[in-house]
Structure formats: structure tokens, C-alpha cells
Amino acid sequence: MRSLPPLEAALNRLHRGFDWAARTPQDAIRHPLRYADPGDREVAGLLTACLAYGRVDLFGPQVDRALGEMGESPRRFVLGFDPKKDGARFDGFRYRFNRPRDLSAFCLATQRILLAHGSLGAFFARGYSPGDPDVGPALERFVDGFLGQDLSAVFPRNRLSRGFRHLFPRPSTGGPCKRLHLFLRWMVRREPPDFGLWTAIAPAALLMPVDTHVEHMARAVGLTRRRSRNWKMVEEITAKLRALDPEDPVKYDFALCHKRMSGDCLDRRDTQVCAPCGLKPVCRHWPRAVDRRAAAAGEASGYGDPPSGARE
């Protein structure tokens, strides 16, 4: 058995030992998870991911409200959606950038795609090529499918609202597109907590959903040195994780995100909180202190040269 590099060993331990079931109630995936039907999971998952900006305790109730108006089958609701008759269901909806008409537009655009392609997965697969380096080009085409619809039944003269555009960020603008990468993780990955519904897409092609929690964790363990959370950071983090697991690089996402979200990582050195953490051997907040202590010990014993690999 080969000896694993420290980063790979530490992340594998974190991934294998993480109790994802215990954290699912605090994760956005709990919303699509309530549906057994794959078509309902697709629609509920996309709506949830689109609204998953800000804290879970803030957007979660709004997702519950929107899905509650769709009844027991979000897919069936969307397929029968009529803006004139059903748009009023979302009256009073407010969440940061989004208003009732944004939800109506979401339902109408999704309806058009489902009628034309049968499922969201089939539509995404039409724009995906196994020859692409990752899902980036396919995601751009997927977003075009929503932003390119004629939604004049909701928006006069088809002038899309800022809120609706915010639901579907384009990769080409350079942002991290965290919410859509999260949706793809749910749909594509074959292992829990993800659903593995889109078998035409390879998990190897996924890109990391980078939010503030993953950003800080990634920087702490050396997956990135970038300071701006953007598409380049997503690519850099994913490339380093792909070197650890070429077939499933984003498998580490849930554990990394929830380790910080739960308070198990403070993004600083804390003797009590950090004591049981298996990432300490690769965390930037700890090796520096260890190296300094080693250097001090060397000086005290008459050997002043810093230890090999010391970070100054």
C-alpha cells in the first residue's frame, strides 16, 4: 500500500469520517432530499441551489415557502404553470434580490426546458461533451437555456429582472458560480449525500462549489493562495483536489464546508477547538508554530539553523 502525501491522507480521513447524515438538516440539500421522484428532485434542487445565497437559516425558510406553493410535486407544478393563474401563489415572496416574478420566471423557463427535453439532466447533457476539460462550457450553455427564454409573459418586453439574472450566473463573467456547481454536485455525484441522477455526466468533470467556508478551508490547507473568490480560484482548488482523486474531486466539498460552518474550524489557531482536528498536519495555522518551536529548541541546544522546510 502506497504512503499517501499528508494533504491527501488528511482530506481522505476528513471525508471518510464525516457524519454527513448528522449535518444534512443544516444543509441546503435537505430541500430536494424530501422528494423521492427524480424529476421532483431536479426541479426542487435547481430552485434551492438558485436561492442558496446567504446563510442557510435565512434562505432556507424562503425555499420552504416557494416549494410549499408548488405542492407535493414541483415538477408537475412547473409543467402546468400559467403565469396569469399561478403567479399569485408567490405574492409576498421576498428574499434579498428576489421577488415573486423571479419565481414565476423560473417556473416558466423550467417548464419550457422540460417540455423540450424531458428533464433538466437531458438538457444539460445536450451541452456537455466528454472532451471538455470540465463542466464549465456545458454550464454556460445550461444558463443560456434559462436566460435566453422569451419570458415576456412575466417581464414586459422580456427585460429580465436583476433578481432572475442573479439566479443563473454565467461562468463567462468570471464569478465562482457556487450555487450552480452545488446543484451539479447533487445531480452528478454517485455517493451520499448526493443523488447521482445525471449518469451521462462524469463526476470527474465537476468543479468545486466554492463558498466562503470552502474558500477559507481551502486556503488553510494549501489548496489555493488566491484572495478573490472567482472562477480561477474554483479551477485552482479543483485541480489540486483532482490530483488527489481524479475520478471524484469534489467529494471533499460537503465535509470541508460543514467543518467550518459547524464551528469546528475557526480559521485561526485555537488550542481547544483545533485539538481533535485531523487537518492540523497540513493547516497553515499550525505548522508555522511547530516550526518556530523546533527552531527555538535548536537554538537552545546550540544548533541555530532552522529545520528543513521551516516557514519564515
Q: What is the pLDDT of residue 4?
A: 74
Neighbours of 91 (CB within 10 A): 9
Give the pLDDT confidence score for residue 206 in this predicted structure. Answer: 98
Q: For 22-44, how does the pLDDT look when each residue is reduced to its tens digit (9 = 90+)?
A: 999 999 999 999 999 999 999 99
Residue 3: what pLDDT?
64
pLDDT of 306: 33
**What is the domain extent for residue 248?**
6-267
In angstroms, the CA 52 to CA 44 distance is 12
What's the pLDDT score for residue 108? 98
Query: Which of 3-17, 65-79, 93-107, 169-183 is the least confident region?
Result: 3-17
Which pLDDT belongs to residue 288? 57
pLDDT band per the 50, 70, 90 thresholds, residue 158: very high
Could you say which DSSP state residue 99 is in?
Answer: -
* Measured CA distances, 20 to 182, 277, 300 (Å): 15, 17, 46
DSSP string, 151-175: -TTTSGGG---HHHHHHS--GGGT-
Residue 296 belongs to some domain of the structure: no
Q: Is residue 312 part of a domain?
A: no
113 φ/ψ sector (left φ>0, alpha ψ -120 to 50, else beta)? alpha
Q: Is the pLDDT of residue 282 over 80?
A: yes
Phi and psi at 98, nearest 5°, equal -105, 145
Residue predicted with more confidence, 286 or 2: 286
- Identify the H or E element spanning 241: helix 231-244
Q: How many CB atoms lie within 10 A of CB 126?
A: 15
| Residue 289 counted as domain residue | no
SS3 268: coil
164 closest CA partner among 114, 110, 103, 107: 103
The DSSP letter of residue 145 is H
Q: Is residue 278 part of a domain?
A: no
Q: Are 139 and 78 in contact (CB under 8 A)?
A: no
Q: Average pLDDT, stretch 268-288?
A: 90
Burial class (CB in 10 A: 0-12, 13-18, 19+), 20: middle
Decide: residue 204, CB within 10 A, 0-12 exposed, 13-18 middle, 19+ buried: middle
Within a domain: 274:
no
Residue 111 has pLDDT above 50, yes or no: yes
pLDDT over 60 at 82, yes or no: yes
Answer whether residue 191 is part of any domain.
yes
Percent of the chain scored above 90 by pLDDT?
Answer: 89
DSSP 3-state percent helix, strand, coil across the chain (nearest 5) = 60, 0, 40
pLDDT at 250 over 60: yes
In a domain, 306, yes or no: no
Q: Domains in the chain: how many in total?
A: 1
Q: 291 in a domain, yes or no?
A: no
pLDDT band at 301; cut points 50, 70, 90 = very low
Q: What is the pTM of this model?
A: 0.90
Amino acid 305: pLDDT = 35
- Cell numbers at 99, concatenated: 421577488
Q: What is the mean pLDDT of the chain?
A: 91
3-state secondary structure of 213: helix
pLDDT digits (tens, 9 = 90+) for 215-247: 999 999 999 999 999 999 999 999 999 999 999
